[in-house]
Copies of this chain bind each other. A is one copy, B any other.
Amino acid sequence: MSQFTSTPVPAAFAALANKLADSGGAILRQYFRKRIDVISKSDESPVTQADRECEAQMRTLIKEAYPDHGIAGEEYGIENRDAEYLWVLDPLDGTKAFVTGRPLFGILIALLHRGTPILGIIDMPILKDRWIGLVGQPTTLNGQPVAARACANLTDAYISSISPHIFDADSLARFERVRKQAKLTTYGGDCYQYAMVATGFLDLVIEDSLVYYDYLALQPILEGAGGIITDWHGKKLTMDSGPRIIAAGDKAAHRMALALLNS
């Protein structure tokens, strides 16, 4: 299926997705860079409170608008998994960033239609940057189209991963084969890394230990920017694709990295 022949995503779904990100982001901002000693609401840590409140709020809004849709999220599990439309929520992608005061955490929202991601949002509540991918349309950052960049050789590639410690011995050895070819490596950044591939500032993100809510929102964003995201065998993403994921701005770089990962 080419994305360019897909049925357009209903505008009402995109409007709801934006509303989820707006209200979720407002919650996260309340707790970011607050010392635990200034938050008296409960015995939970600020990050736990932020995470749960954000997801609960998004679930409420989805149920109000579309009671027949399914919802899967990091904090509260899966409801109505077999619905035609399934929302997949990561209310706080980057909890380590959040607790260490770094603004590179985000909210991830995906909408799946019969298992295929047709809408994805990466929202950065502190940076006030929002990427939206809608199948069949160009990906936008704050309303402006973005595009991944060309990278025909791994020796020119800027690559990234959240941390070398997300890999096991096997996957680290595979990752290192790519990293040692690359021009530049950065760590950290969570979902922001994938947004930077879609915007032409990174060429490859290679990670292990991901769960479905970490990557499903990324697919419409990467594809709508001319990039690609798959598992380490090059297969399209589903709920069960994890934990090893690779994103690239250029399909040639993706192919070369896969060859090294699997050599």
Chain A residues packing against B (C-beta within 8 Å):
33, 35, 96-97, 99-104, 126-127, 149, 158, 160, 163-165, 184-189, 192, 196, 199-202
Residue from B96, B100, B127 in contact with A103 in the complex, judged by beta carbons closer than 8 Å: B127
| Bound: A188/B165 CA distance, A | 13
Name the contact of A189 in the complex, choosing from B102, B158, B192 (C-beta under 8 A). Answer: B102
Question: Given known contacts A101-B201, A127-B103, A192-B102, is B96 in contact with A186 (CB within 8 Å)?
Answer: yes
> How near does chain B come to A100, taking the closest CB pair, in angstroms?
5
Residues of B within 8 Å of A186, CB to CB, are 96-97, 100, 102, 163, 188
Minimum CB–CB distance for A151 against chain B, Å: 13
B163 contacts A187, CB within 8 Å? Answer: yes
A contact patch SS:
loop
Q: Complex Cα distance A101/B201, Å?
A: 6
Query: How far, in angstroms, from A120 to B199 measured CA to CA in the complex?
Result: 34
User: When A101-B196, A101-B199, A101-B202 are in contact, do A96 and B184 touch as well, CB less than 8 Å?
Assistant: yes
Question: Which residue of chain B has the shortest Cβ distance to A196 in the bound complex?
Answer: B101
Closest residue on chain B to residue A102 by CB atoms: B189
Give the residues in chain B near A100, CB-CB below 8 Å. Answer: 158, 160, 184, 186, 196, 201-202
Instruction: Give the docked Cα–Cα distance between A149 and B185 (Å).
Output: 31
| Bound Cα distance A74, B35 (Å) | 35
Question: Which one of A149, A187, A192 has the highest number of Cβ atoms from chain B below 10 Å of its Cβ?
Answer: A187
> CB-CB < 8 A to A103: which residues of B?
103-104, 127
Q: List 21 A-B contacts (CB under 8 A).
A: A33-B199, A97-B186, A99-B184, A100-B160, A100-B186, A100-B196, A101-B202, A102-B104, A102-B186, A102-B188, A102-B189, A103-B103, A103-B127, A104-B104, A104-B188, A126-B127, A163-B185, A164-B187, A165-B185, A187-B188, A188-B188
Q: Which residue of B lies closest to A199 (CB)?
A: B101
Q: Which residues of B contact A201 (CB under 8 A)?
A: 33, 99-101
